[in-house]
Structure 1
Amino acid sequence: MMDPESSELFNYTTGRFLTNDARRLQERRRVFNIPGLFNIIAQAVHCEPGQIVDFRKLGEGGLNRVFLVTLDTGLRLVARIPYPLLTPKAHAVASEVATMDFLRLKGLPVPKVYSYSFTSDNEAGTEYVLMEYVKGIDLSGIWADLKEHEIISLMDQLTTVESALMSIAFPAGGSIYYTNDLQELGSEGVLLDGQLDGNASEEKRFCIGPDLSVPLWYGRREQLEVFRGPYEDAKSVLLAGAMKELAYLDQFGAPRAPYERLRREHYNYEQQPPSDHAQNLGRYVRLAPSLVPDDSTLSAFCIRHPDLTDSNIRVSTENGGLQILSVLDWQHATVLPLFLHAGIPGFIQNEEDDVSRKMIAPKLPDDFDKLPGEEQEQERELLRRRLVHYHYVLSTATYNRVHHKGFVYPLNSFRRRIFIHASAIWEGETIKLLCALIDLVLGWEDIVTDGTPCPLVFTEEEIRAADKLHRALTTTEGQEMFLRYHVGYGDDTWVPTAHYETAKALGEELKRRTLEACAGVEDSDKVYGAVQANWPLDDMDEAEFEEFK
């Protein structure tokens, strides 16, 4: 009998975490009934359980574990099982399946779903999704080596897919569900009428229900009885996240130190009151309706991939060309106004670079041949990043003009930024929202062009204090980058399993050196104690940690 304590099928083995490792691994541990899952697979693809000749872990993502199932007929399919940390689990599984089915019916390159369950009440004892295995390779495997003609072809294909996706009209905002599933989850939705070529029975299967954006459900927010959609207009979208967070602070808010421990120094290591953030959320609620663009086409509801990266695009390199085969991972997909979806995907955008930002045609420097080998490699990589950004924007302008209009619309990136800050979970700080509000007030006439006066005023003292704190906090970004580079960790202090012991030792050595350096500063004992208590690579107190996870 398989030991659930040690089996890699049930446990997270891809990486470790430098802080709260045991907790992070437990959140990703999922024991299930393998014979029961095999029975489910057999029923889904009309075979016998004994015809399953191979079952192995294919990969582990941030929220799910993926298995490759092989039959004796050669058929392969994917079984995906969510971790316990997925939020909100039932809604997320149900919505993703319905979204994928709906988009396939609309002709988008999305895997076929064979079977699913958004509850653990089944033979496998777990939520699951069984779907088509898409041949080919992940784009991430060749991303760094693409030539310019391949980049152009890929960007043309990608923006064409996005155009087809974003041209689907929706009667409301939120997330897509099967109508019956949403009713089983205790909600009613807005039917997607007129979207599937007049097939009334198919259309009634789908509806728009609650918005699955993670900040709306994170942690104890899932317990709140707050409005999460369906949204009738852009204004209701802009307000929902802030109203949710106000409700959270009212019910659960308590003073806390900033979650990012490197930033605590600039708050004198003191706990921050939730009332400050509640005040800024209230200010945002007053101003949010003015963020709706004057151009009504930018407020039309549309859907976009929730987290487009090179690792969830499946491609073929056969026959000498690069072809997009499928776009994977639609968990937490949302239907929102176009102006809140518009923008260049993170793995493509290179906006911190002046050449990319100004859309100057990329090329190697004139003295490239005279540069040392290492600098030539750096210039080639810089050129590749610029080419990807440049051709995505050009292809979007050609094949997805509505989207292009969205991300070049005046101050549209600011509208998205302040909306994100107002919807985000409170982690002991309010400075990002406060600075965005100040920018909005100071630039009011550029956002609201009809002459309506701004109902909010900041004093010069408030503006100076916010700017001073913001500038001080930017120093922590360099400190964080230094730690990441020298220790070698990613988000949530993740490291590859093989690098864990080395990374732990490097982190401890940096901590030791930092504490030694405290000896020569003013109030050395106080500084030493503060660093010791707030070192960012130490485990965090579980009681404090529970507030965020």
Structure 2
Amino acid sequence: MVSRFSWFSRKGKAAPKDWNANEDFFHFTRGRFVYDGGQQLAQRTRRFNINALAEIAAKAAGAGHCVKVEKCPDGMYNRAFIFTMDNGTQVVGKVPNPNAGIPHYTTASEAATLEFMRTVLQTPVPRVYAWNSKLDEQNPVGAEYIIMEKMPGIPLSHVWDSLDPPEQLKVFLQVFRMQKRWAGTRFLKFGALYYAESIATATSTSGPVSSVVPAKCVYINEDGERVDDTRFTIGPAVGREWVEDGRQAGWWSISMLDYLTAAGLKEKVAIENLQYIPKQMVIVYGPDGLYQPTLAKKLSAVDYYLKAVKDLIPTDADAKLVSGGHLWHNDLHCESILVNPEKPTEILGIIDWQSVQISPLFQNDIDPSFLGYDGPELKDDDLTPPELEDTSSLDAAGQALAIRTFYKTSLMVAWRMLVKEKDPSQYTAIRFRRSLRGHLLNLGKSTFTLGEAHTRALFLDLKAEEPAFPLWFSETEKAEIERDALAVHQGTELMKDIADRLTERDLWPEKGLIESENYEAVMAELRSIKGELMAQFAKSEADRKIFEELWIFDC
């Protein structure tokens, strides 16, 4: 039986330490949110028995008891702690936030995915010591959890900017080798990976979480051999786009068409049950020339997608290179890559594997985000390394920006050249993802939250390029789509202006989050910006009402 307290000594000589007394352990304390603040915090608040978790961590680590618990910086979807034991051992404990995903499946899939990545794909990920995805009498913690290895190293963010270009190349070469293994292992079904015993075992073509009947884990390895791994099974997808904003689809399937169709169907269900316009920090909505999202427009976009999805799937000679299912880490930023502090070009670990799933190669982020490239799209037929332009006429800030842009572009060109030469499947996936069809397949999985105007405009473009494409638009629809495209462009440019204005004062709330000490300052600035925009776009009381309803920020 797990006690209420975590004791310093099992001999009773020391007083118990009640970790549950620390309220910060159960709340999001990294900052404040600038939109839907109350709801955002509620989604990241979870009370559980951390004393019990500390005892489980000690047992998993082979230690006597836990002597110290440290909360890591809050994640957006989970809470992590470092447990230090009486023998000096440290382990990490993770508890999912309420917004992390489908109960049971998100944790169960993460545990299995880590094991597969570590033992099959030879990726340096944390070893899992213990986990529990059930909330029953056998779980004294009162929450799902994973106890895992505390990997050595420091975040790449601590050293990346200080590395010279040849050193940065050494880092991305290691990432490329990992991704080549991921791309070289092709699953025959789509969804998420689980231990076979964690969900019921059977064979299925496709289905929602409510009728879970998982499929066998079969994949083609790097040597082209078929492997039937009985340790694992493939079940409901756990990616964010399947579970956020009230979605509870979690489909999995044998064929790509089933999978991509399910992506559109779960968007349609979410839209039909729409109770509010989802907020996104990429566009300003409003009246008088700004875009106004509606249920009808969202349904129109998803209906176009569902009618056309079978004609969007690649069918040319390269189709086989991008059509398989792959496990992929789609958020390889500088915080999720751990490097050796003594030899910062050596990667020691990759962390943050929650919600990783098996999806088509072209729907994965082949270009890792730690490269930091945010310039124009590189052309397939021109991967010539850039030249640094003359900066003598620029001021110091302009010169620094030009040099930084040059190095980022050079690094991105080097990455693309490497991928193109050494792994045709990844490069083909990049090219298809950037095509009209690739864009539409990616937009189709998120129409509920954002992108319906862009989706409809891209379908119109595709129809213009390919008159035989099986969609038809009336003149009225064409005019509305074109107006909406202009309105979306204006709204996104306005949000970029807001971001630039706040960034100049170090007040831009990335992902809606700002440091607590800067909250009042950023809200004051946003109130001022709101007043300026209302004066420009809200000419009547009706316009002001629309603007207020669609304004994203809590001011």
TM exceeding 0.5: yes
After TM superposition, give the deviation of residue 98 of structure 1 in Å: 0.2
After TM superposition, give the deviation of residue 115 of structure 1 in Å: 0.8
Q: Match for 1:91: what amino acid?
A: Y
Aligned equivalents of 1:159 and 1:178: distance in 2? 27
Q: Match for 1:426: what amino acid?
A: F
User: Which residue number in structure 1 is paired with residue 71 of structure 2?
Assistant: 57
Match among 186, 191, 201 for residue 174 of structure 1: 191
Segment of structure 1 superposing worse, 261-270 or 109-118:
261-270
After TM superposition, give the deviation of residue 361 of structure 1 in Å: 0.8
Match among 442, 462, 469 for residue 454 of structure 1: 469
Aligned pairs for 1:70-149 within 5 A: 70-106=84-120, 107-121=122-136, 122-149=139-166
Q: Say yes or no: does 1:214 pair with 2:233.
A: no
Aligned equivalents of 2:140 and 2:167: distance in 1? 46
Match among 429, 437, 440 for residue 459 of structure 2: 437
Segment of structure 1 superposing worse, 56-65 or 178-187:
178-187
Q: Where do 5+ consecutive residues of structure 1 fail to align?
A: 446-452, 540-549
After TM superposition, give the deviation of residue 192 of structure 1 in Å: 2.5
Match among 505, 509, 520 for residue 528 of structure 2: 509
Contact 1:195/1:203 (8 A) holds in 2: no
CA RMSD of aligned residues (A): 3.3
Report the secondary structure of 1:204's partner residue: strand
Aligned equivalents of 1:383 and 1:530: distance in 2? 43
Q: Match for 2:233: what amino acid?
A: C
Q: Where do 5+ consecutive residues of structure 2 fail to align?
A: 1-16, 202-208
Cα distance change on mapping 1:416 and 1:212 into 2, 3 Å: farther
Aligned equivalents of 1:266 and 1:243: distance in 2? 32
Aligned pairs for 1:361-510 within 5 A: 361-365=385-389, 367-368=390-391, 371-409=394-432, 412-427=434-449, 430-444=452-466, 453-487=468-502, 488-510=507-529
Aligned pairs for 1:339-350 within 5 A: 339-341=362-364, 343-348=366-371, 350=373
Match among 320, 329, 348 for residue 305 of structure 1: 329
After TM superposition, give the deviation of residue 160 of structure 1 in Å: 0.6
Aligned equivalents of 2:329 and 2:450: distance in 1? 30
Segment of structure 1 superposing worse, 322-331 or 424-433:
424-433
After TM superposition, give the deviation of residue 531 of structure 1 in Å: 4.3
Question: TM-score scaled to structure 1, two decimals?
Answer: 0.85
After TM superposition, give the deviation of residue 513 of structure 1 in Å: 4.8
Contact 2:155/2:335 (8 A) holds in 1: yes
Encode CA deviations 1:31-85: one digit per residue, 9 max, x unaligned: 2212211221122122222xx2221012211101111111232221111111111
Contact 1:151/1:387 (8 A) holds in 2: no
Aligned equivalents of 1:333 and 1:247: distance in 2? 23
Number of residues paired by the alignment?
Answer: 517
Contact 1:308/1:345 (8 A) holds in 2: yes
Cα distance change on mapping 1:503 and 1:404 into 2, 3 Å: same
Aligned equivalents of 1:297 and 1:171: distance in 2? 13
Encode CA deviations 1:405-463: one digit per residue, 9 max, x unaligned: 32235x75433321222221524873122112212222337xxxxxxx42222245433
Contact 2:286/2:546 (8 A) holds in 1: no
Aligned equivalents of 2:235 and 2:36: distance in 1? 35
Q: Match for 1:166: what amino acid?
A: A
Aligned equivalents of 1:275 and 1:99: distance in 2? 39
Aligned equivalents of 1:349 and 1:359: distance in 2? 18
Aligned equivalents of 1:509 and 1:377: distance in 2? 31
Q: Match for 1:208: what amino acid?
A: I
Contact 1:33/1:123 (8 A) holds in 2: yes
Aligned equivalents of 1:160 and 1:412: distance in 2? 23
Q: Match for 1:188: what amino acid?
A: V
Encode CA deviations 1:502-549: one digit per residue, 9 max, x unaligned: 21222233334555x46xx8945555555455443226xxxxxxxxxx
Cα distance change on mapping 1:21 and 1:6 into 2, 3 Å: farther
After TM superposition, give the deviation of residue 119 of structure 1 in Å: 2.6
Contact 1:156/1:399 (8 A) holds in 2: no
Aligned equivalents of 2:144 and 2:439: distance in 1? 34
Aligned equivalents of 1:360 and 1:469: distance in 2? 37
User: Which residue number in structure 2 is paired with residue 34 of structure 1?
Assistant: 50
Aligned equivalents of 1:398 and 1:202: distance in 2? 31
Aligned equivalents of 1:13 and 1:117: distance in 2? 25
Cα distance change on mapping 1:257 and 1:249 into 2, 3 Å: closer
User: Which residue number in structure 2 is paired with residue 238 of structure 1?
Assistant: 260
Contact 2:54/2:83 (8 A) holds in 1: no
Q: Match for 2:348: what amino acid?
A: L
Aligned equivalents of 1:95 and 1:266: distance in 2? 47
User: Which residue number in structure 2 is paired with residue 448 of structure 1?
Assistant: none
Q: Match for 1:505: what amino acid?
A: A
Aligned equivalents of 2:19 and 2:57: distance in 1? 22
